[in-house]
Amino acid sequence: MTQSTVSTHVVSPPAARDVLALLKPITWFPPMWAFGCGVVSSGMSLDTRWPFLIAGIALTGPLVCGTSQAVNDWFDRHVDAINEPDRPIPSGRIAGNWGLRIAIAGTMLSMLVAWLTGPWVFAATLLGLACAWGYSAPPFRFKTSGWWGPAVVALTYEGLSWFTGASVMAGALPPGSVLAVLGLYSLGAHGIMTLNDFKAVEGDRATGLRSLPVTLGVDHAAKLACTVMALPQIAVVALLAIWGMTISALAVSVLLAVQLALMPRLISDPARHAPWYNATGVTLYVLGMLAASLGLGGYI
């Protein structure tokens, strides 16, 4: 009588450094900046809100944004195995279904922290998580659309993060003025997200991703991105001026004027100059967000 043994392969948990690489800390800065703008725009003192402030920073950075990176890498693991095989999942450093487990765990932890932080923060977090999964996961895969993909990222990175910062401080729904400005900056951020697509036009075309540079052509997409970035800022300047926030309106106007001066170079060769504009024009854009939030908060 022989006894057969069945061997089972157990996939070990990934190392902490590989999990951190999966969550991409470098991507946390934009939503955390928008969160900071929300905190400033509330005009509220930090004295009694420190626990909520820390929770909000965690939500907009490592939790919701980090979770979105894990979700994206899990559902793109087959493509990354070809294009970027050194990433944690295709390289095998995060093996088995640990990538999916991390994404689910991040989602649940984000919901728990948001629930403890407040109802409006919880609502914003739920929407942000839904966008994170819808962006990368079937059946929606918003990232395949040049219209919906940038819109989803702009909403979550700018609008919902700003909303979270203002809600965390006030413990309530932000006022209409704050909602209007964060909505306009979210709309303008659609153009910023489009800039990221110029670096991969040929790859997007080959893999069927319908980015705006692919569907509209590089020149038209660049002009559209510049228009989408500029018009909401003009509206912000007008609103700030109407509300009597003169210094804030002037600051945003100056920052916008410099952006407009830089845009012709971007349009002349979008594929070449998009990284340069990200380092210059986009920096001016986010500084304008801060200037607007300082006016809303009554600091200038």
Residue 155 and residue 199 in one domain: no
Non-local (6+) Cβ contacts of 56 within 8 A are 35, 39, 117, 121, 164, 165, 168
Q: What is the pLDDT of residue 136?
A: 94
Q: Is 5 a domain residue?
A: no
Taking the C-alpha atoms of 159, 164, 169 and 175 in order, what is their torsion angle to the nearest 10 degrees? 50
Is there a domain that residue 45 lies in? yes
Residue 7 has pLDDT above 70, yes or no: no
**Overall average pLDDT of the 197-223 stretch:** 82
pLDDT digits (tens, 9 = 90+) for 117-175: 999 999 999 999 999 999 999 999 999 899 999 999 999 999 999 999 999 998 899 99
| Residues 141, 188 share a domain | no
In a domain, 2, yes or no: no
Residues 39, 165, single domain; the answer is yes
Q: What are the DSSP calls for 14-70, one per residue?
A: PPHHHHHHHH-GGGGHHHHHHHHHHHHHHT--STTTHHHHHHHHHIIIIIHHHHHHH
Domain boundary among 149, 172, 195: 172
Same domain, 154 and 268: no
The span from the CA of 163 to the CA of 43, in Å, is 13
273 in Cβ contact with 20 (< 8 Å): no
Tokens of 173: 């729904």
Each residue of 13-70: pLDDT tens digit?
A: 999 999 999 999 999 999 999 999 999 999 998 888 899 999 999 999 999 999 999 9
Burial class of residue 82 in the structure, from the number of CB atoms within 10 Å of its CB (0-12 exposed, 13-18 middle, 19+ buried) = exposed
HSE-up of 205 (CA within 13 Å, CB side)?
11
From the list 203, 201, 211, 161, the residue with the least C-alpha distance to 182 is 161
Kindly state the average pLDDT of the residues 1-9. Answer: 45
**What domain count does the chain have?**
2
Q: Which two tokens stand for residue 74?
A: 């899990």
Note whether 33 and 159 are within 8 A (CB). Answer: no
Nearest to 295 by CA among 99, 41, 121: 41
Q: Which amino acid, 155?
A: L
Domain-embedded: residue 7: no
Indicate whether 44 and 162 sit together in one domain. Answer: yes
- Average pLDDT in the chain: 92
For residue 241, is pLDDT > 50? yes
Whether residues 75 and 136 share a domain: the answer is yes
Which amino acid, 141?
A: R
DSSP code string of 77-114: HHHHHHH-TTSTTTTTSS-TTHHHHHHHHHHHHHHHHH
Output the pLDDT for position 170. 87
Query: Is the domain of 58 the same as that of 114?
Result: yes
Same domain for 272 and 190:
yes
Q: Pick left, alpha or beta for residue 217 (phi over 0 → left; psi -120 to 50 → alpha; otherwise beta).
A: left
Compute the average pLDDT of residues 65-91.
92
Q: Which of 137, 157, 172 is the last residue of a domain?
A: 172
In a domain, 6, yes or no: no
pLDDT at residue number 38: 97
Domain-located, residue 8: no
Asked if residues 245 and 296 have their Cβ atoms less than 8 Å apart, the reply is yes
Beta bridge partners of 145: 210
What is the model's pTM? 0.92
**60 shares its domain with 151:** yes
CATH number of domain containing 106: 1.10.357.140
Q: Over range 180-209, report the average pLDDT.
A: 86
C-beta of residue 38 within 8 angstroms of C-beta of residue 171: no
Q: Based on the domain organization, do 144 and 267 belong to the same domain?
A: no
CA distance 129 to 149: 14
Task: Check pLDDT > 80 for residue 199.
Answer: no
- Does position 86 have pLDDT exceeding 80, yes or no? yes
In a domain, 1, yes or no: no
Residue type, 54: I
Residue 9: pLDDT band by 50, 70, 90 thresholds? low
Average of per-residue pLDDT across 223-251: 98
Q: Across residues 199-225, what is the average pLDDT?
A: 83
Residue range(s) defining the domain that contains residue 80? 15-172
DSSP state of 159: I
* pLDDT for 5 beyond 60: no
Question: What is the CB-side half-sphere exposure of residue 259 using CA atoms within 13 A?
Answer: 28
Where is the domain boundary, 127, 150, 172?
172
Query: Are 189 and 222 found together in one domain?
Result: yes
8 has a pLDDT exceeding 50:
no
State whether 254 and 120 are in the same domain: no
